[in-house]
Structure 1
Amino acid sequence: MTKGILRVTIVEARDLKDKDIIGKSDPYVKLILDKHNIQSTKHKSNNLNPTYNEQFIFNINGQKKLEVQVWDKDTILRDDLIGEDDIKLSEVFSKGYIDTWLNLTKGKFGIRSRGEIHLILEFAQ
């Protein structure tokens, strides 16, 4: 079982699909390691190509993937899911460092991309 520290940097997103009728989406990123380990960025108002540069630390204790979701923050209704995908952690476990663009194609949207998100993952035991 793999144990250690995973540092995830949410750098930016691009070409996010707009979920709002008026104005542009207010996207934020949610990282889900498991049901007990969920962290989120701050939302970016009216921006489909936001820059975040936010870092998150997770304690790895056997988890094998990190789920990445991009949501549109809504003030009146509930937040809307823009897109999602997950990252298998085996590559960052073996290399120690990954700098990647993740295509948001998973979930109820099928294989159509809902945008991309730039992540840097670092792992240390």
Structure 2
Amino acid sequence: MAIGFMEVQLVKAKGLQETDIFAHMDPYVLLQYKGQERKSSVIHEGGRNPIWNEKFVFRVEYPGSGDQYKLNLRIMDKDVFSADDFVGQATIYVKDLLAEGAENGSAELRPHKYSVVRADQSYCGEIEVGITFTRKEEEYIEDDVGGWKESCF
């Protein structure tokens, strides 16, 4: 099993569908990978074409439990007086990237545009994301796991 880190570079979105009639959108992104969640900054009045240029790191095991190697990106519109609006989402399958990184030590998907879809799967814009997976060297794994170690007593 390879343990490492997946760095996600959230670049920008383009052509998002507005959710508010009277105001510009204040978009942000919820990034989810196997129970881990990160949140981008809110781009105040970012509208249909927000730019984030932010990086997020997830801990990854490959092969891990289950076969759901999906990075989910949920684009939301921050609202002050009501619940945040769901704009759309993109799903990036990273199994091949992780397999290559586990074998070679690292692997990279350069920033690429992914379709953003609504709940009904209709197209509502695109999001640009880059991903890098770096395998952690084997000798450091023990320190990271925690728990008991053998003693000399």
Instruction: Give your verdict on TM over 0.5.
Output: yes
Matches within 5 A, 1:81-120: 81-93=86-98, 94=100, 96-99=107-110, 100-105=112-117, 108-110=119-121, 112-120=122-130
**Once the two structures are superposed, what CA deviation does each residue of 1:6-54 show, in whole Å capped at 9, x if it has no partner?**
000101110011000212111101100123x100111112221011000
Gaps of 5+ in 1: none
Counting only pairs closer than 5 Å after superposition, residues 25-64 of structure 1 correspond to structure 2 as: 25-35=25-35, 37-46=36-45, 47-61=47-61, 62=64, 64=69
**Alignment coverage as a number of residue pairs:** 122
Q: Bigger relative contact order, structure 1 or 2, given CA contacts below 8 A and separation 6+?
A: 1
Distance in 2 (alpha carbons) for counterparts of 1:82 and 1:109: 12
Cα deviation, residue 109, structure 1: 2.5
- TM-score where L is the length of structure 2: 0.74
The residue aligned with 2:9 is 9
Q: Helix, strand or coil for the counterpart of 2:74?
A: strand
Larger of the two Rg values belongs to structure: 2
Counterparts in 2 of 1:63-82, with a 5 A limit?
A: 64-82=69-87
Task: State the AA in 1 paired with 2:43.
Answer: K
C-alpha root-mean-square deviation of aligned residues, in Å?
Answer: 1.5
| Bigger helix fraction | 2
Moved over 4 A (4+): none
The answer for unaligned runs of 5 or more in structure 2 is 102-106, 136-153
